[in-house]
């Protein structure tokens, strides 16, 4: 026997003429044939650019799956499984952050060759990214017109715009648990971006002053902060990769590029959970 060869064990399946295979289960023929470089002649680095963004969209799909579930669980007062979903969200966000390192291997000269073939397409037009932002609280009705060309996508975003965010459901959960959530928060117009409410800072100050007495809520607050922290890291890495690749040129979709991305760093999903930190002694 050759010690450098691992023999197939007798029980390993090898005939998939009628049984389900790994490739069929994952629909790999379709997945792996979805990369269509547009450069002529073909540019080596365009495959990196395409796969990077396709993988990001797959992670975003999982984020939406988990965030929708976490929101629904909070709406039915099931905090523990909701926290499990949020823990997974954090790990997905870490993958999205670290993935920028791969795209950063693309030099300005290499990207300059690819860029003309992107035409007017841009990551700004990612409806899944916009859905994540809507679910987390960064609502902006003006974004809908970017998707006027696709009625199904626009309708889906419009529905998310009209629904409570993950944070909305969390504060509603707190209210049902007897916490003094202001009526203005519970009755707010959920189509608008969330704005900080001082009374909620006071509420969270009580939680942080006695974590053991409010452990589930305290844990949830820290999960939310972790998620925002990681989301901001994702935004920052995006900005840095764009800066090192195209400098201060405008984006392919017409944005101002780096300056537009930098303004996103001022946006926050859970403002009271950051403001409360100034009260902790």
- The mean per-residue pLDDT over the stretch 108-127 comes to 93
Secondary structure of residue 167 in the 3-state scheme? helix
pLDDT at 2: 64
Lowest mean pLDDT among 176-185, 186-195, 245-254: 245-254
Measured distance between the N- and C-terminal CA atoms of the chain, rounded to whole angstroms = 68
- Cα 8 to Cα 4: distance, rounded to the nearest angstrom: 13
270 is known to lie in a ligand binding site:
no
Cβ neighbours of 11 (radius 10 Å) = 5
Residue 32 lies in a domain: no
Residue 16 lies in a domain: no
Buried b (16+ CB within 10 A) or exposed e, 62-96: ebbebbbbbbebbbeebbeebbbbbebbeebbeeb
214 is known to lie in a ligand binding site:
no
Residue 33 lies in a domain: no
Question: What residue numbers bound the domain in which 92 lies?
Answer: 42-279
Confidence of residue 4 (pLDDT cuts 50, 70, 90): confident
Q: Mean pLDDT over all residues of the chain?
A: 95
Residue 9 lies in a domain: no
Residue 13 lies in a domain: no
Predicted model pTM? 0.94
Lowest mean pLDDT among 49-63, 220-234, 235-249: 235-249
111 is known to lie in a ligand binding site:
yes
pLDDT tens, position by position, 54-97: 999 999 999 999 999 999 999 999 999 999 999 999 999 999 99
Confidence of residue 1 (pLDDT cuts 50, 70, 90): low
Task: Please count the structural domains in the chain.
Answer: 1
The answer to whether the bond into 41 is cis (omega within 30° of 0) is yes
Q: Tokens for 182, please give them.
A: 């202001």
173 is known to lie in a ligand binding site:
no
Confidence of residue 12 (pLDDT cuts 50, 70, 90): confident
- Cα 16 to Cα 27: distance, rounded to the nearest angstrom: 14
Contact (Cβ atoms closer than 8 angstroms) between residue 105 and residue 126? no
Higher pLDDT, 216 or 250: 216
Residue 12 lies in a domain: no
- Cα 143 to Cα 255: distance, rounded to the nearest angstrom: 13
Residue 258 lies in a domain: yes
36 is known to lie in a ligand binding site:
no
pLDDT at 210: 97
Residue 143 lies in a domain: yes
> Any idea what the CATH number is for the domain that residue 162 is in?
1.20.58.480
- Cα 142 to Cα 64: distance, rounded to the nearest angstrom: 21
Token look-up 């409010």 returns: 214
């Amino acid at each position: 026997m050759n010690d450098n060869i691992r023999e197939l064990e007798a029980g390993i399946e090898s005939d998939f003429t009628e049984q389900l295979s790994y490739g069929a289960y994952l629909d790999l023929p379709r997945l792996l044939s979805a990369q269509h470089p547009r450069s002529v002649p073909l540019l080596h680095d365009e495959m990196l650019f395409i796969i990077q963004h396709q993988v990001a969209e797959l992670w975003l799909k999982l984020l939406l799956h988990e965030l929708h579930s976490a929101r629904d669980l909070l709406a039915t007062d099931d905090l523990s499984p909701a926290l499990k979903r949020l823990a997974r969200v954090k790990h997905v966000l870490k993958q999205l952050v670290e993935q920028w390192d791969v795209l950063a291997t693309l030099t300005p000269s290499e990207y300059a060759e690819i860029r003309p073939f992107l035409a007017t397409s841009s990551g700004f037009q990612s409806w899944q990214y916009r859905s994540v932002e809507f679910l987390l609280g960064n609502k902006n009705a003006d974004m809908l017109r970017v998707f006027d060309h696709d009625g199904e996508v626009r309708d889906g975003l419009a529905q998310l715009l009209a629904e409570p965010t993950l944070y909305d459901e969390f504060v509603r959960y707190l209210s049902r648990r007897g916490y003094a959530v202001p009526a203005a928060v519970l009755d707010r117009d959920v189509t608008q971006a969330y704005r900080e409410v001082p009374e909620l800072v006071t509420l969270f100050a009580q939680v942080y002053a006695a974590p053991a007495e409010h452990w589930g809520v305290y844990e949830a607050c820290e999960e939310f902060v972790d998620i925002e922290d990681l989301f901001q890291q994702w935004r920052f890495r995006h900005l840095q990769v764009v800066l090192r690749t195209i400098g201060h040129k405008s984006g392919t979709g017409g944005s101002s590029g780096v300056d537009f991305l930098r303004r996103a760093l001022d946006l926050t999903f859970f403002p009271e959970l950051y403001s409360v930190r100034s009260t902790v002694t």
